[in-house]
Amino acid sequence: MALLEVKDLSFRFSNGHTALDSVSFSVEQGELLVISGKNGSGKTVLLRCLKGLYRPSGGSINFRDTSIGLVFQDPDSQIVGQSVERDIAFGLENLSVPPKEITEKTLSVMEALNLVSHAKQRPRTLSGGEKRRLTIAGVLVMDPSILALDEPFANLDYPGVLQVLEKIVMLKQEGHTILLVTHELDKVLAHADRLMLMDSGKIAALGPPQEASKAAEACGVRIPADLMSIEDMTWLKR
């Protein structure tokens, strides 16, 4: 049974713009679903509807005993703490989790995301890749059953992309269910179980990367011509 079932989901802004138009798909336990499409195709609006930040105009979103954690595209809009460890602990503190448990969980996600040596550092002094890993840690510490990442590679340099991609692949291997929104397919598609392409608020293609990626160019998503196969579509060394 699917972890998340979305049926005929629509969303219209108050100015009349339809950002999502009858979107239906499901998410299986443990899968990495890459969601792509050009700017304005509705990817961020979709994640915001799933997270409950936007109320859909129509359709349904059904979670099976599931919570979704959303990592925003802009790290600065998500970081609130005065230090890395304080920032990660913030969400748990709001839930009045016992201090000992907060310390343990915070340490555990700092270890997972290579942030231990930065524990006392002020978040705004972190590099782009470190900052992105901090926002992932801050969401992961809440133990969501689905991790949703909005453009996790945006504004990162080469090492930053590698740091973040490495962690995403590690989380998938640990069994996490991940929704990854990106228009940069060449960085990550090799690791995806399925690819969903969006165009003008609709699903233009959904399926195994090999199949679905055939519709990429038509949806305004570029696949570099020198990539011979889906397996090449990763920035990690193989």
Ligand X SMILES: Nc1ncnc2c1ncn2[C@@H]1O[C@H](COP(=O)(O)OP(=O)(O)O)[C@@H](O)[C@H]1O
For residue 44, the minimal CB distance to Mg ion (Å) is 3
Beta-sheet strands, E only, within the chain: 4-12, 18-27, 32-36, 58-63, 68-71, 146-150, 177-181, 194-199, 202-207
Residue 43 or 105: the one with the smaller Cβ distance to Mg ion is: 43
Residue 113 or 195: the one with the smaller Cβ distance to ligand X is: 195
For residue 47, the minimal CB distance to Mg ion (Å) is 8
Q: Could you give the string, one character per residue 15-54, with x where binding to ligand X holds by CB under 6 A and - elsewhere? A: x-x-x-----------------x-xxxxxxx---------
Name which of residues 21 to 50 contact Mg ion (CB under 5 A): 43-44
Name which of residues 156 to 195 contact ligand X (CB under 6 A): none
For residue 183, the minimal CB distance to Mg ion (Å) is 9
Residue 85 or 152: the one with the smaller Cβ distance to Mg ion is: 152
Helix ranges, the chain (H): 43-51, 84-94, 99-112, 128-140, 158-173, 185-188, 209-212
Write out the two tokens for 49. 């509807």
- Residues 89 and 115: beta-carbon distance below 8 Å: no
For residue 15, the minimal CB distance to Mg ion (Å) is 18
Q: Please choose, from the candidates 1, 99, 17, 97, the residue with its C-alpha nearest in 3D space to the C-alpha of residue 54.
A: 17
* CA atoms of 213 and 230, how far apart (whole Å): 9
Interface positions with ligand X (CB under 6 A):
13, 15, 17, 19, 37, 39-45
